[in-house]
Structure formats: C-alpha cells, structure tokens
Chains A and B, each alone.
Chain A
Amino acid sequence: MEEILGAILRALSFGTPLLLASLGAIINERSGVVNLGVEGMMILGALTAFAVAYGDGTGNGNLYLAVLAAMAVGALASMIHAFVTITLRANQFVSGLALTMLGLGVAGLLGKRFEGVPLFNQAPELPFTIAAVLLALLLAFVLSATGFGLTLRSVGENPAAADVLGLNVNLIRYGAVAFGGAMAGVAGAFLSIASRPSWTDGMTVGLGWVAVALVIFVGWSPLRAIAGSFFFGLLYYLQFALQGKIGIPSEVFAAMPYILVIVVLALAGARGQQGAAPEALGKPFTRGER
C-alpha cells in the first residue's frame, strides 16, 4: 500500500512540470499560436529560478521571488516568438525551434557558474502540483464558460471574424503567448528549485517537447491535460523504478518517454484528434485577408 502511495506521489512529481507547461501551451495554441520554444523557455525559467533562489550561496534567496522571476523570464523569452510570428508573420514552427535552441544555448552559457553547486533552500513540490491542478480547473472554466474564454477561442478559430467584431487579434495572441511563456518558466522553476534542486546544463531533458506533444494528445483540453500529464509522470516514474530490475537495458527506459510521445501522437492522429485543433492554429493573421 505504502509502495503504491509512493509511486503515485512520484508520478505526480514527474507530471507536474508537464502539466504546468502544457497548460500554458494549451492557452497560446487556443489563441492560434504554436510555440515549439517550450523547452527553451523552460530551461531559461529553471536557470532564473535557481539563480534567484541561490542568492549569495547561503540559501537566502526568496523562493516566491524565484518563481516570479522564472515566470517573467519565460514570458519575456516568449515575446521574441510573439514578435517574430505575430507582428512579422514568420513561420511559427521554425521560430519556436529557434527559440528552443536560443534558450538552451543562453541557459547553458550563463548557467555555467552554477553547475554542480548545491541549493540549500529547496522548495516543496506539493504546492506546485496543487496549483497546477487548480489552474487546470480554472482554465477549463474560463475557456468554456466566460466571455474572456470565448474571445480567446474565437481568435484561434476565426481571427477574421473576431477582428470584424472589434477584437484586437494580435494583442490577444501576444497575451496568450506570454501566458504560455510564463507557465513554461514555472515548470522550469519547479525542476531547478523543487524536484531536483540544482542546476545542470540541459536539465529539462526534452520535457518541453513532451509538453508540446501532450497538448495534441489531450485535444487542447485543460481538464484532460491533468490526466495526460500524470499518465506521462507515471511512465517517467516507472522508467526509474524498473531500471535494472528486469532484463531490459537501461537505454530502452531512457528512450521510452520520447518513443511514447511518437506513439501518443500517432494514437491521437488515428483517433482524428487533429480535428480538435483550433482552426487558425499556426497561421499568421493579416487584417483584411481571408
């Protein structure tokens, strides 16, 4: 019994960054903007949170401030993507990819001095998990039952019609992308100050990509994202729990999350999940064009 409880707790821990990041991505994708830069923004958030929490090295950094700073940096990084894809109407997929390269590069470069130093003021994990679940419920409500949610969805489904109704399509999209960036930042903060309180280059290990894939898997629904993230969390947990215990090489377990992303995307495709995608997803909006 205790073992099962332990497993559930670990699965929740592994699933939390996925849920945080994918909730952000759901919002920006619902507004019509894909951001493949989640991995890059997440690692920037991780570095920022660690640097703030580290303070002068005695563990005197404020943890709330660390999370807020990670959100701010994530949002700031996402503004690069917003400017390039919304204002300059560049290819959203390539821009997000470039943002990931940039984020991984900048974090690796600027984080070099924190490599291998311990963090004494570790943050608890559970508040992040609870906040993520509550936020998922809140977002589900906002999206389906409020005027604001309707506005956001209309911008993602039919920007031309939203524009005719007097909505500022680009401004709403900027806001949604910023939210996505901030959430990726929190996810990073969770990693570097709560679940693995340390800084290592590339410590997001593809979680950002898994979060992006998860959005498709859960059909852009915040509620289903809760189940989806904890399902993947369980898989990550099993990867560690089963390693070395049965006669399967450890590399198979290490590769498993990535292979599963492909399997999950294929399943989503086979079920026709792509039909649930916002109609204008990935397409830049130009006033007066249809």
Chain B
Amino acid sequence: MRFIADPNPSRYKTAWVSLSAILLAAVLTGFVFAAYGSNPLEVYRTMITGTIFDSRGLADVARRTIPLLLIGVGLTLAFRAQFFNIGAEGQILLGAVFAAIVPLFFPLGVFSIPIMLIMGALGGGLWALLAAWLRQRFSVNEILSTLMLNYGALYLVIYLINGPWKGKNVRGFIYTDEFPPFAEMPLIGGTLVHYPTLILGIIAALGLQWLLVKSTLGFELRVVGENAGAARYVGISSGKIVTIMALITGGLAGLAGAAEVSAIHHRLLEPSQISLGYGFTAIIVAWLARGNPALVLVTAPFMGITLAGGDLLKIVLNMPFRIVDVFSGVMLLCLIASEIFIKNRIKWGR
C-alpha cells in the first residue's frame, strides 16, 4: 500500500473522510463506554434525544455553543498560522477576571456590559500574548507555555475568590459578591442563551473568514502558516503575525469568559464552573473546521451537543463528566489520523 500525494483534494472527499473519522471516533468511544459498564447505544440515545430532540436540551446546546464558537473561531485562525494555542482555558479565566473588575470596582451603569466584554478580550489577549512573546523571544514551545499558563490562571482565580475578592455577604462560599443588575447580560427568556454574545460569535466567524481570505493580513497569515521560509523571504514579519494572532485568539477566548460570568453566573466563581473545558473542546471545533473560521458555525454546535450530552449523562446515567475528555481525545486522534487519507490517494500494491 502506498500513498500518492493529492495536493488539491475535493471538498466532497474532505467531507466524507472527516465524517468517517467522526463515526469511527463514536464507535471507539462506544468501546470505552462498554468497558465502563454502560450500554453504548443507550448512552448515545440519551445524548441525542436529550439534546437535539428536546427544547430545553437544545437551549443547553446553544448555551454551550456560544463559548465554543468564539474560541473555536480564534483557534482556527491561530492553527492556520501554526500557533498551537492550547491555553484557551486559561484565557477564558483571565477574561472572566478582567471583566469582573468592572462591576466589582468601577460600576459604570449602562456601559458596563460592553466595557466588561472589552476588558475580557484584553485579559485573554494579554494571557495569550505572553505565550507568543515567550515563543518569539525565548523559543518556548507555545503548547507547553499555554498549557502551563492554564494552571497559572486557575490558581489566580482561586486566589482571588478565596482572598481579596471574596464576597462580603457570601459566608462560607468561595465566590465574589453578585454583580449589580446592569452588569448582567440579557438572555433569551427561560434559557441561558445570551444572544448578544451569540451574535458577536457569528460576526467573528464571518469577519475572520473575510479577513483570512480577502485581506492582506490574512494572506500574510496564510503564508506564515504554510511556509515560514517563504514568508521571511518576501519580508513578512512572522513575529507581527503571531502577535496579532495571539491577541485575536486569546481575545476571543477572554470575551467568552467575560460573557459567561456576565450572563450566566453574575459573579466570579470557581474555575471549573466558569468553563466546562471549553478551551479544550474548542481545539476539536477548530480542527474540524479545517482552517475555515466560517465553518466553525457548523462545528461549534456539533461539539456543543457533546458537552450538553456529557452534562446530561452525568445526571441521567450518573457517569463522570470525564467522558467528554474520552470523546474529545478519540475524536482528535481520529481526525488527525484521517488527514493522510485526504491529502493522499491510496494505491494498493507496489
């Protein structure tokens, strides 16, 4: 068996290979469910009927989709520039921290929400920028640095809610005081879907698709990602591109974090409650979109189903939420393993 390079695979081929990879991932994960002692068919049936065929479930999918959309769009662009940002989880938390400064210390009335979102983007962007700087200046692998910065962000939040920002009226609980009402983002009635963020996410997906395909910056980004040597030769500064990329990808993750605390929790609280591992799940969202920010509009809801389904399984079948990690890991492995079948034609025999 040999692989013959296929430099321009058709969209049709890309789609069916990707779908096969997802299917394979579902089957393989099924074996893990069986090893745990659950019937895989029952698990999948619970996940699907409880999410897409149920109005409350659907609202939960939408709620989980919002952060995945924002973060996934940013990661798609970052991966395209070969900047492997694995630290969205920490960037979400920094976004939440920066956003919380506004209602806790500088109540700004009606302007609170937009300022909170900007602060959130700033917090997440700076956290990612740190990793970009470490890569440029000291050639520190950004996968390791962003991952370690996740732990840094985690303990920062725990420190704040346990120490200086601990609420005055919360007794034994570890979180801040509740934000004033004007810092609470509006929701679609009866759900936890904060539509202003959803709209921002859709704009980000389309806007960044435009940026990537039509703008000079997008062109430079693609050159840096595909051929760093050529980029240097034609005088494109990869440092500049990576810096901008870090600000965008971290900024969008920070925005997602800011929106979570503003719309859903109304306070800064434990990291595991702010993010359900959105930063990691969004890696798959981005990988599935294969470098097209607009495609995240499809892949984010898909992974949103997984997260909402994982939540459901915890309640209905009493399974640990870790199943989301299993599914994510298997899915990511299947996706990257399938790449070779997209980029090559298989020729049997010698």
Cβ-defined contact, A105 with B328, below 8 A: yes
Would B155 and A251 count as touching, CB distance under 8 A? yes
Contacts of B280 in A (CB 8 A): 101
| Bound Cα distance from A252 to B163, whole angstroms | 12
**Min CB–CB distance A113 → chain B (angstroms):** 9
Question: Shortest Cβ distance from A213 into chain B, in angstroms?
Answer: 6
Binding stretch for chain A, among B135-143, B198-206, B215-223: B135-143
Q: Which of B303-326 contact A (CB under 8 A)?
A: 319-320, 322-326
Does chain A have a CB within 8 A of B241?
no
A63 to B84, CA, bound (A): 40
A94-B332 contact, Cβ under 8 Å, with A209-B148, A265-B138 = yes
Within the assembled complex, what's the spacing in Å between the Cα atoms of A267 and B137?
11
Q: Is the CB of B151 within 8 A of A102?
A: no
Restricting to A253-279, which residues have a CB under 8 Å from any CB of B?
254-255, 258-259, 261-262, 265-270, 274
- Count of residues in B whose CB is under 8 Å from the partner chain: 46
**Residue numbers in A under 8 Å from B283 (CB-CB):** 97
A68 located at the interface, meaning its Cβ lies under 8 Å from any Cβ of chain B in the complex: no
Residues in B with CB closer than 8 Å to A252 are 155, 159
Say yes or no: A88 contacts B159, CB within 8 Å. Answer: no
Q: Which residue of A lies closest to B145 (CB)?
A: A262
Q: What CA separation (Å) do A201 and B137 show in the bound complex?
A: 36
Chain B positions within 8 Å of A269 at CB level:
134, 137-140
Whether a CB of chain A sits under 8 angstroms from the CB of B42 is: no
Q: A100-B329, A261-B148, A262-B148 are in contact. Are A91 and B336 (CB under 8 A)?
A: yes
B138, A106: Cβ atoms closer than 8 Å: no
Q: Mark A14-49, 1 if CB is under 8 A from B, else 0.
A: 000000000000000000000010001000000000
Known: A109-B319, A213-B144. A206 touches B332 (CB 8 A): no
Q: Is the CB of A110 within 8 A of B329?
A: no
A94 touches B287 (CB 8 A): yes
Q: How many angstroms between the C-alpha atoms of A63 and B12 in the bound complex?
A: 53
Find A249's partner among B137, B140, B159, B324 (CB 8 Å cutoff): B159
A254 — nearest CB in chain B belongs to which residue? B155
Residues of A within 8 A of B327 (CB): 105
Chain A residues packing against B (C-beta within 8 Å) = 36, 40, 80, 83-84, 88-91, 93-95, 97-106, 108-110, 112, 201, 206, 209, 212-213, 216, 249, 251-252, 254-255, 258-259, 261-262, 265-270, 274
Closest 6 CB pairs between A and B? A102-B329, A105-B325, A108-B322, A269-B138, A105-B326, A101-B329
B residues whose Cβ falls under 8 Å from a Cβ of A? 32, 35-36, 84, 86, 134, 137-141, 143-145, 147-149, 151-152, 154-156, 158-159, 162-163, 280, 283, 287, 319-320, 322-330, 332-333, 336-337, 339-340
